[in-house]
Each structure stands twice: as C-alpha cells, then as structure tokens.
Amino acid sequence: MERNDNSIPVKLDSLRQEISDIDKKIIDLLEERATLVKKVGDLKRLHRLPFYSPDREKKIYKMIEENASGSFPIKSLKNIFREIMSASIKLEEPLTISYLGPEATFTHQAAMERFGLSLHYLPEESIEDVFMDVEQGRVDFGVVPIENSIEGVVHYTLDMFVNSSVKIVSEIYIDIKHNLLSKSHSLEEIKAIYSHPNALGQCKGWIKKHLPNVPLYETVSTAKAARIAEKDEEAAAIASLAASEIYGLNVLASGIEDKTNNTTRFLVIGKQIPKPTGDDKTSFMFSIKDKVGALYEILSPFYKNKINLTRIESRPSKQRNWSYIFYVDVEGHLEDEKLKGALQEVETLTAFLKILGSYPKAQQR
C-alpha cells in the first residue's frame, strides 16, 4: 500500500497548532507571573528588601531539577528561567551591574550568565572601579574574577577585600574557551598576538606550535586585545567567541587553550549577605598572632566542628614586613550554629578577622 504523503502537511499543521496553543498558555502564565512580581517589588520597596535574592534564585534552579522530567534539557530550562528572573528583576527594579570590562570579557559573560539580558551593565576598566561602584552605590552589584583552575587566584581581587565594605553575595563558574581572532583570514598574516597575561599563559603550548615566532603583547583584558585586533589587520587577539561577534573578527582557530579543564570562578559583590539555602559557602579573612602554632590553632575549630575548608590562600598584609593575611572559604552559612561557633572561637585567636560573605554555593564545572 502506497503511503499518502499528502497527509503530512495536515499533520504538521495540526501539531504546530497544538504548539501555538501551548505557547499562548505560556504567555498568559508569564503575564500572570509578572503581575505577582510587581506586587513583590512593591513589598520589597516598602520594607527596603534586596531586589536580587541569590537564595531565591537557587531555590528556583533546584525546583527545576526536581520537577523536570528530562523531555526538555534541564540546562536549557535553567537558561529560560534565568531570563524570566532577569526580566522579573527589571519589573521590580531596573538594577545596574558593573563588571571588569570592556564588553565581551569573560567577566561580562559571567555577569550575564548570573543576571540575564534584561538588566543594565556597566563595564569598568579595573577591579578597583567595580568595588568602588558597589561601595559608593553607583551600581547594585559588581562581578569580578577571583580564581582560575590553571593560573590560580586573582590576587588583586583578594587585596581589594581588605579595606572594602562590600560582601560576596554569589559565585559563578565559567568554562574558559579561548579563540584566535583577527581581521585577517590566515595564520600566515599574523604579525602580533595580544591578550590578557592569563590567556597568553593558558595558550602558550598552542602558540609555540602554530605561531612560534610571533611576538606576544599583554593587555588589561581579552576584550581590549580584540579592540586592538579590530584596528590592525596584522594583529590577532586571544579572546572569547562573543568578542569575535562584537568586534567583527574572524575566528582563525577555536579552543586553543592547552588544557580543557580551564574554569574561572567569579564573585558577585553587593552590600547584603543572602539568606541560607542549605548549600552555602562562607568566605572570610584573618591575620595571625605572631606565635608558634598560631595557624594550626586557628584552623582547629573547623576540624572539631567537621566544617570543610574548600580554599585557603595567604597574601602579604602590606601593613608590616613578613606578616600575612589568610583568605578562607568554608562550607556553610554564617547562620549555621556550628560555623557561627567556630568563627567566634577563631575571632579570639586572631589579630584580625573579617567576614567577606555567606552565599549559595555554585556548581563547579
């Protein structure tokens, strides 16, 4: 029996109509959600509550994981809800987010991954500028890099916390994928390579193999390198794919990082510590008293209370020679009784203790 192909367009039209009907229901539900969001915004404004709540955001993502059947990819669902939340925050209060710019840096990418496309973004030339924006109330939140899985910690960000009043309110992990971008169309035309020192370091193996005699020049950001390449056809930049689109550059090579597990952690800084979610991280800094076994003594309360330290980093204090400030990340929230007790004990043992924030733990990549 021959198949009647004339029925296929009819079936397609029928299925598409069903999809359109569902789309209309989605729109109606989003409109209903927006009405509730505006009421929430009014209450927040009346009681001076924060318009961005990392704890609430984490609960929504957890709800997605618990309720998704798998028919629609969970990652895509999270992306959709990120934009719904971004638009909702704008309905409540149009927030401004500053970040280490210019446009198309990985910090810009991290900011958009956390806050979505609906909010206003302010690029800054330095990490210090981002801190000052938040501290002086010019923006609502800032996004800065803190550490890379290959290159290590961003010391300047750590140093800024010593004298700043800002708090860490969230963290973001971004997979770093480097690309060689240029106005030219072949590697043979490249006479210079520009990028941030970390990016150059992360791609040195590829550069040595493919462009061993081309001089390297450091820039303050990968996006700044893309700007240079935009104006010089013999120059290439190591930067993100987003930079190729923004600055009109050709992708001469993609994925040129030497190690595939290249991830950078970013911090969102603000003024208020979020509420606990049950899966949190707390960051703090301290300096030790000058005596034998001081560091061991300070870390003992965490061991006794079975609190996991996820990172400890030391930096010169810049107050006096051979003195150091230690930066620590631990699992838990300031409101957790065990952690609260441990930190109270630590405070009696240190010359200086400062809480940097308690915030929802992000999923590492």
Catalytic residue among 222, 264, 277, 350: 264
Determine contact, residues 264/362, Cβ cutoff 8 Å.
Answer: no
- Measured distance CA(49)–CA(46) in Å, rounded: 8
Active site annotation includes 264: yes
CA-based max dimension of the chain: 92
Q: What is the 3-state secondary structure (H, E, C) of 108-131?
A: HHHHHHHHCCCCEEEEECCHHHHH
Q: How far apart are CA 45 and CA 349, in angstroms?
A: 41
> Is 348 a residue of the active site?
no
CA torsion, ordered 243, 249, 250, 252, to nearest 10 deg: -60
Tell me the C-alpha distance between 247 and 280, whole Å: 38
Alpha helices for the chain (secondary structure H): 7-47, 54-67, 74-92, 106-115, 127-135, 155-160, 197-202, 204-210, 222-231, 241-247, 294-304, 337-349
**Active-site residue (options: 266, 286, 302, 326):** 266
The residues carrying an active-site annotation are 264, 266
